[in-house]
C-alpha cells in the first residue's frame, strides 16, 4: 500500500512559504493541516510499532516520518479536490470491501497491525489511505474511458493534480522541510537555510 500511495504523490507546482496560521503544518487553499494532526499520526504509528516485531522492517523515523505523514494529508486533499471536480466518489461499502480484501490477502485481521506498521500507515488513517487508492483507480478508469492512452493516464492525472495544486496555492511550514516540485515530495531543508528549524519528530 505504501508504494501505491507514493505513486500518487505526484509532482506539483506548489508555493513554499512560512505558514501564517499558528499551528499549521501546511495550508491548502483555505484548508489548514495542523501540526497536531500530523503529530497524532506519528504518535499512533510509534505506539503501534511498539506492539509488533519491526526488526526486519525499514522504517521511517524522525524528520522523514514527519514529512511522510504531512505528505499524506497534502496528497489526500489534492486528490479529493480533483475527484470532486470529476464527480468521483467513494462509499464506505467500497472502503470496507477493500479493507476485507487486504485482510484476506495478508492472512487475517491479526496480521493487519504488522502490515500497516511496515507500510508506515497509522491505523487511524487506514480507511483514508484505502479511499485514496480507490480514488486513484477510479481516476485511471475514467481517463481510459475518455480515450486517454493507457500509457499516458499517469501523466494526465498528474496534470490535473498539478493544476489543482497551483490553483489552491499550498503553503508548507518550513519546519517540516520544503516542497520539491520536481520530485513531488517534501524534502529536508538545507541545514544552512535560515528557514530550517528543528522538526517535531520524536
Tens digit of each residue's pLDDT (9 = 90 or more) over 83-136: 999 999 999 999 999 999 999 999 999 999 999 999 999 999 999 999 999 999
CA-to-CA dists, residue 138 to 5, 8, 115, 154, 156, angstroms:
14, 13, 25, 12, 13
On the 0-12 / 13-18 / 19+ scale of CB atoms within 10 A, 30 is: exposed
Please write the tens of the pLDDT for every residue from 151-191.
Answer: 998 888 878 887 888 888 888 899 898 776 655 567 787 76
CA-to-CA dists, residue 167 to 5, 15, 26, 70, 144, angstroms:
22, 10, 15, 20, 25
Domain ranges of the chain: 2-184
Q: Under a CB-based contact definition with an 8 Å cutoff, are residues 12 and 71 in contact? A: no
Cα-based torsion angle of the residue sequence 93, 90, 72, 180 in order, rounded to the nearest 10 degrees: 160
Residue 158: φ, ψ to 5°? -60, -40
Amino acid at each position: 500500500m505504501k508504494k501505491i500511495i507514493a505513486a500518487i504523490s505526484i509532482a506539483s507546482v506548489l508555493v513554499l512559504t512560512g505558514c501564517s496560521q499558528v499551528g499549521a503544518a501546511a495550508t491548502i487553499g483555505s484548508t489548514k493541516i495542523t501540526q497536531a494532526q500530523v503529530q497524532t499520526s506519528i504518535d499512533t504509528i510509534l505506539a503501534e510499532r511498539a506492539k509488533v516485531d519491526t526488526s526486519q522492517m525499514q522504517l521511517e523515523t524522525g524528520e522523514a516520518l514527519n514529512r511522510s505523514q504531512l505528505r499524506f494529508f497534502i496528497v489526500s486533499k489534492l486528490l479529493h479536490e480533483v475527484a470532486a471536480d470529476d464527480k468521483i466518489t467513494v462509499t464506505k461499502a467500497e472502503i470496507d470491501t477493500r479493507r476485507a480484501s487486504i485482510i484476506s490477502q495478508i492472512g487475517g485481521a491479526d496480521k493487519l497491525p504488522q502490515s500497516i506498521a511496515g507500510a508506515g500507515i497509522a491505523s487511524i488513517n487506514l480507511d483514508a489511505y484505502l479511499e485514496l487508492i480507490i480514488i486513484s483507480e477510479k481516476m485511471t478508469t475514467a481517463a481510459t474511458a475518455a480515450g486517454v492512452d493507457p500509457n499516458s493516464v499517469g501523466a494526465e492525472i498528474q496534470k490535473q493534480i498539478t493544476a489543482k495544486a497551483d490553483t489552491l496555492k499550498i503553503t508548507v511550514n518550513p519546519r517540516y522541510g520544503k516542497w520539491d516540485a520536481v520530485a513531488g515530495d517534501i524534502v529536508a531543508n538545507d541545514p544552512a537555510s535560515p528557514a530550517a528549524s528543528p522538526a517535531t519528530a520524536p
